[in-house]
């Protein structure tokens, strides 16, 4: 199957992908993996496949992986748990500043473990409907963003990280050597979100999944602080009709190509 990656101003590469590629030991044409101080920034709207692909890429490269959306979710979750009003912007910023958030490095056998305030937290808690409904509001607050972005930058300083979010290439790591903007059609994203919910055993409705994604897109793209947008030097990759393995393979090729150019 032919894969296409679109640059901001047009098509930049096409290639034939092999699904189910194994862990990479080198570039497709030989050579050493990208690094050691590189960061790969992946941004895009909800349900575009950022987390699954970002994690797979990190595992292939032996990089660390940070899904920054989970940090915004952790603050929202803690606020709901502790009865902090979501109107109280100062208390939310304080919660973000004191947030103790750690993730282990994922492997082929095991997803990363998320620790909030020193305790392992199930991703399903952070992805619950309650958190889902409020997280865009919380992530729009300047004080919350300032605190979490500082933590994200500190983590990236150690290098060799794949970081996923909405503002990584534009704001958190504007100098990241490789920036990717992953997107998919609204229909495809709604289908994925619906299947994800069903997979967790939750009640789900395709129309509702699409409306919720549209609402989140409006909030994420329309907010004043660090709205979701495409970095000028990002490679835009549309993932409709592609498997996780195919998209991961494509991003690996972009990483190798970048390494060869620099």
Q: Does 73 bind ligand DC (CB under 6 A)?
A: yes
Strand ranges across the sheet with 101-103: 101-103, 114-116, 119-120
Q: What is the DSSP letter of 33?
A: P
Stretch that binds ligand DC, among 2-10, 24-32, 160-168, 196-204 (CB under 6 A): 160-168
Residue 77 within binding range of ligand DC, rule CB under 6 A: no
Regarding 239 and contact with ligand DC (CB under 6 A), the answer is no
Q: Are 173 and 159 in contact, with CB atoms under 8 Å apart?
A: no
Q: Which of 249, 232, 217 is nearest to 14 (CA)?
A: 249
User: Judged by CB under 6 A, does residue 54 bind ligand DC?
Assistant: no
Q: Which stretch binds ligand DC (CB under 6 A): 16-24, 58-66, 166-174, 245-253?
A: 166-174
Q: Which of 31, 55, 46, 113 is nearest to 247 (CA)?
A: 55
Per CB under 6 A, 93 contacts ligand DC: no
Q: What is the spatial order of strands in the sheet that 39-43 belongs to?
A: 10-16, 2-7, 235-238, 178-183, 39-43, 161-165, 64-67
**Minimum Å distance from CB 6 to ligand DC?**
21
By residue count, the chain amounts to 262
Single out the residue of 33, 34, 46, 54 in contact with ligand DC (rule: CB under 6 A). 46
Tell me how far, at minimum, the Cβ of 178 lies from ligand DC, in Å: 17
Question: Which residues would be at the binding site for ligand DC (CB under 6 A)?
Answer: 46, 68-69, 72-73, 135-136, 139, 165-168, 216, 220
């Amino acid at each position: 199957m032919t894969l296409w990656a679109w640059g901001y101003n047009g098509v930049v590469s096409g290639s034939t992908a092999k699904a189910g590629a194994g862990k990479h030991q080198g570039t497709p044409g030989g050579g050493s993996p990208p690094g050691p101080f590189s960061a790969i920034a992946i941004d895009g709207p909800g349900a575009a496949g950022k987390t699954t692909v970002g994690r797979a890429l990190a595992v292939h490269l032996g990089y660390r992986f940070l899904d920054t959306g989970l940090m915004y979710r952790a603050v929202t979750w803690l606020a709901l748990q502790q009865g902090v009003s979501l109107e109280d912007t100062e208390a939310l910023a304080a919660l973000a500043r004191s947030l103790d958030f750690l993730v282990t490095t994922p492997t082929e056998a095991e997803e990363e473990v998320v620790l909030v305030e020193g305790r392992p937290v199930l991703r399903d808690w952070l992805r619950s409907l309650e958190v889902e409904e409020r997280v865009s509001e919380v992530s729009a607050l300047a004080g919350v963003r300032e605190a979490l972005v500082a933590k994200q930058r500190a983590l990236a300083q150690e290098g060799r990280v794949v970081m996923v979010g909405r503002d990584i290439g534009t704001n958190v790591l504007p100098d990241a050597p490789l920036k990717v903007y992953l997107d998919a059609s609204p229909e495809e994203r709604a289908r994925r979100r619906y299947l994800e919910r069903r997979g967790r055993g939750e009640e789900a409705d395709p129309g509702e999944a699409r409306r919720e994604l549209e609402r989140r897109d409006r909030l994420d793209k329309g907010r004043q602080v660090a709205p979701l947008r495409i970095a000028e030097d990002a490679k835009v990759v549309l993932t409709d009709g592609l498997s996780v393995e195919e998209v991961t393979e494509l991003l690996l090729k972009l990483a190798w190509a970048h390494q060869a150019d620099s």
